[in-house]
Structure 1
Amino acid sequence: MKLLQTIEEVHKIFDTGGSSPLLVTCNDFNDWICKYDKFPNYLFNELLASEFAKIWGIKVPETALIKVKQEHIPTDMLTRLQKNWFYKECFGSKYLEDSKEIDLSILPLFKEKKFRDKVHDKSDFLKIALFDIWLSNEDRNHNNFNLLLNLSPEKNYFFYAIDHVNIFNTSLLDYGLFNISEDDSIIKTDLAKILFSKNKKTKQIVTNLLENFYLCIEECKNKLAEIFEKVPTSWGLNLEDIKLKLENSIFTDDWKRSCDNNFREFVQSFIINQ
């Protein structure tokens, strides 16, 4: 994973109600969304989930580690930011200019067939939902989609998954792992109904996703050591302990079967039966 550094003052703080990331410009002359959480576990969650998502074929913004220079933190932001949070590398996601965060205000657009036809890889929506079930992500739901709709150069739209701080039931497996509820899933949303409830291909999409589900998990497990090499030592994490927790949770056969069942039940209840 490449390491970048800021070249000018922080542009803004996004008031997300959560980690409140920064918008910064780095020495590659691109803008980045920068997570600086004072808890390294959250940075790890972001890094791990983004790497797993790439293995699954889920679209995520390009990622990097970012060093925010102390002199680039404006004085007026120091009431909200502590300089010691930036002694270690931050987690960055490339800022996608041609994108819009999905919220309830753009749902009417999806009701128009002409607009829906421009959305490619619609099955990615359900793939992301299954991914969230596997990682127990409690923070992608009807109130907070954490999805971008990105416009490609060919004028097609694609779903991009963002913000994975709250995987593992908003912890780092310190208290075990629990299935997310139906209210914590984007399957129980009006957008899911619009995209799939009258779609004749939905059942086949679900079958295909679950067939690949087990293969994706196995590849994630095989790539774990490679992913861990990307984790900065400055985050001070016990990677051996984390590896053991992962092996005893998301990679177990029982957990995979449970995720498979939950995904089928959610789709049946909130999409097919609608």
Structure 2
Amino acid sequence: MQLLHTIEDVHKVFDTQGSSPLLVTCNDFRDWVCKYDRFPKYLFNELIASEFAKIWGIKTPETCLINVKREHIPNEKFPQLQIGWFEKQCFGSLYLETSKELDHTMVSMFQEKSFRNKISDKTDFLKIALFDIWTANEDRNHNNFNLLLSVSPDNMSFFYAIDHVNIFNMSFLDYGITDLTEDESIIKTDIAKILFGKDRKLTDIVNNLVEMLYICTKECENKLDDILDLVPDSWNIDKVLIKKRIIDNLFSDDWKNQCESNFREFIQSFVAN
């Protein structure tokens, strides 16, 4: 994973309920959304979830590590930022200028067939939902999609998954792992119903995604050591401990079977009916 550094002052602080990331420009002359050491374990969650998502074929913004230089944190403009938060590498995801964050105001657009026809790989929506069930991501739901709709040069749209700080039931697997509730899944949304409620291939889509669950989680397990090697020592993560927790929880057969069961149940309850 590339390590970049800022070349000018922080542009803005995104006003979010959680990590309040920054918009910065780095030495590759591109803009990045930067999350910092306000919640150290959240940086780990972002990194490992993005690497797992790549294995699943889920679209996420390009990622990197970022050194935010002290002189680029203007205290008079952003007094809420503490210098100590930036003594370690930050986690960066590429800022996608042509994207729009999904919210309830866009439901009416999805109801238009011409708009839906421009969505490429719409099954990515359900793939992300299944990924969330597996990683126990409690923060992507009907109130907070944490999805970007990115438009390509040929005007096709793609779903991008963002913000994974709340995987592992927001607990860093301190207490094991528990099922998502129906209200913690984007399957229980109007958009899921609009996209798939009348799809005659829904059964095949679900079966293919379930098959992918078992294939991709095995590949994630095989690559876990390589992914953990990407975690900077400055984050002070006990890699031996978290590796054991991930193997015992995410990669257990019982958990994967339970994820399949929950996924099918949510689809049946909120999409098929």
Q: TM-score, normalized by length of structure 1? A: 0.99
1:69 lines up with 2:69 in the alignment: yes
Separation in 2, partners of 1:14, 1:240: 34
Q: Shift of the alpha carbon at 1:40? A: 1.6
Q: Is the 8 A contact 1:138 1:185 kept in 2?
A: yes
Deviation digits for residues 123-161 of structure 1, max 9, x if unmatched? Answer: 000000000000000000000000000001111000000
Q: Distance in 1 between matches of 2:21 and 2:203?
A: 38
For 2:262 and 2:173, the matched residues in 1 are separated by 20
Give the match for residue 135 of structure 2.
135
CA RMSD of aligned residues (A): 0.7
- CA change 1:203–1:100 in 2 (3 A) is same
Where do 1:171-250 residues align within 5 Å?
Answer: 171-250=171-250
Number of equivalences: 273
Question: Equivalents in 2 of 1:77, 1:252: separation in Å?
Answer: 48
Shift of residue 79 of structure 1? 2.5
Residue identity opposite 2:112 in structure 1: E
Structure 1: unaligned runs, 5 residues or longer: none
Query: Residue 106 of structure 1 aligns with which residue?
Result: 106
- Relative to the length of structure 2, the TM-score reads 0.99
Give, in whole Å, the separation in 2 of the partners of 1:146 and 1:76: 30
- Post-superposition offset of 1:52: 0.2
- In structure 2, stretches of 5+ residues that fail to align are none
1:76 shift after superposition:
2.2
- Where 1:66 maps in the other structure, the secondary structure is strand
* Amino acid aligned to 1:178: T
Amino acid in the other structure paired with 1:63: T
- Residue 85 (1) aligns with residue 85 (2): yes
Task: Write out per-residue CA displacement over residues 168-210 of structure 1, whole angstroms, 9 at most, x where no aligned residue.
Answer: 0012101111101000000000000000001111111001000
**Cross-structure match for 1:13:** 13
In structure 1, what residue type is equivalent to 2:72? H
CA distance in 2, matches of 1:206, 1:85: 42
Instruction: Give the equivalent residue in structure 2 for 1:170.
Output: 170
Residue identity in the other structure for 1:2 = Q
